[in-house]
A = this chain, B = another copy of it.
Amino acid sequence: MLGVSQSTVSRAFSPTASISEKKRKMVMDAAAKLGYTPNAIARGLISNRSGLVAIALDSESNPMYDLQSRALALEIQRRGGQVVLCPIDKDDLDLAISRAIEYQVDGLIIATSRLTSRAFAQCEKFGVHLSLINRYAEGINANITGIDNQLAGKQAAEYLSRKGHRQLAYVSGDAGSMTSEERWRGFSSTLQALGLPSPIFIQAKYSFEAGLAAASEILGHGMKPDAIFCANDILAMGVMDGLRQKGAVIPQDYAVMGVDNIPMAAWPSYNLTTIAQPIDKIVKRTVEDLMNRINANQDAEGAYLFEEGTLIERGSV
């Protein structure tokens, strides 16, 4: 219709291609008139780059994950990518990854708790670039981003001791969760360095109900703690509600802290002092690093790209 070749049209849509401004405008105008849009599927087939980035996440809902994955998706879009969502059903990360690989995703961001070495092998084999977010794994071709968990534990310990608390307790996330273990490590070692009594460790899970149960355990504990640091906010809110059900008053009887700063932490019923995840920084860094690796087609250095959390003072301490 315009008497130009297919290549010229292709070039008009490629920002880096060498084409005269005149022709580009001509093509773009005609495209707008006809409602033409390049077919990203066909582009992917030839260029061997789909523009797709998959996000794998656990199928249980969690306000923190949801916030994070939405921010990730937005940032990926902003940088010209498209997001494939892979909720992991019945722990079947491998299946979800195979399906993503069928779609030739360029990159994969993993935010699920249960990782498998097969998944990593698959990605390696098919050249899918990998990022882990708030997860840990050794010896894989991936970079890791997230909040600095040890530091978060340290921040909590210092804050609570500064506020005059002496006998502290930690309510952990799921057994084997590295995020929880690192927070505990930073917390307990800092308390030791400060010369405070060693903190009580209460094994729990990343859920509200586990917090409720942990509260009973705390109330029945011989060594009554005066402040409780919880592995995340949901857990902390469960602890608060559990404590209150037995008549305790927060922060007079017990100070409570969490990690994440989910929106509900600001609600008056909880008014929870917490360490905020630097979501924006984490998301920007994750996506930038991943996209760079995709574009340069280079391996990950296995780097830990941690960002510092921010203590948010509210009324629960």
- By a beta-carbon cutoff of 8 Å, the part of chain A in contact with chain B is 35, 37-42, 44-45, 50, 52, 55, 59, 61, 63, 66-67, 69-70, 73-74, 77-78, 82-87, 89, 96, 98-104, 125-126, 208, 212, 237-238, 240-241, 244-245, 263-264, 267-270
Contacts and interface: CB of A to CB of B under 8 A. Distances in A.
Contacts of A73: 85-87
B50 A41 contact: yes
A267 B237 contact: yes
Contacts of A44: 41
A11 to B, nearest CB: 17
Contacts of A74: 59, 87, 89
A270 B44 CA distance: 50
Contacts of A98: 37
Nearest to A268: B241
Contacts of A63: 61, 63, 66
Nearest to A58: B70
A211 to B, nearest CB: 10
A245 B263 contact: no
A28 to B, nearest CB: 14
A98 B36 CA distance: 11
Contact of A82 (B37, B67, B103, B244): B103
B39 A102 contact: yes
A102 B267 CA distance: 41
Contacts of A263: 61, 208
Which of A50, A102, A103, A238 neighbours the largest number of chain B CB atoms within 10 Å of its CB?
A103
Given A59-B70, A83-B86, 17 more contacts: A37-B126, A39-B45, A40-B104, A41-B50, A41-B103, A55-B85, A61-B67, A66-B66, A74-B87, A77-B86, A77-B96, A77-B99, A82-B99, A83-B84, A85-B85, A237-B267, A269-B269
Contact of A267 (B55, B77, B208): B208
A70 to B, nearest CB: 5
A295 B92 CA distance: 27
A84 B54 CA distance: 9
A207 to B, nearest CB: 10
Nearest to A62: B66
B61 A70 contact: yes
A1 to B, nearest CB: 18
A102 B61 contact: no
Nearest to A212: B268
Nearest to A242: B268
A44 B43 CA distance: 12
A234 to B, nearest CB: 9
A19 B241 CA distance: 61
Contact of A269 (B50, B70, B241): B241
25 contacts: A37-B98, A37-B101, A37-B102, A38-B102, A39-B102, A40-B102, A40-B103, A40-B104, A63-B63, A66-B66, A69-B85, A73-B86, A73-B87, A74-B89, A77-B96, A82-B100, A83-B84, A83-B85, A84-B85, A208-B267, A212-B268, A237-B267, A240-B269, A264-B264, A269-B269
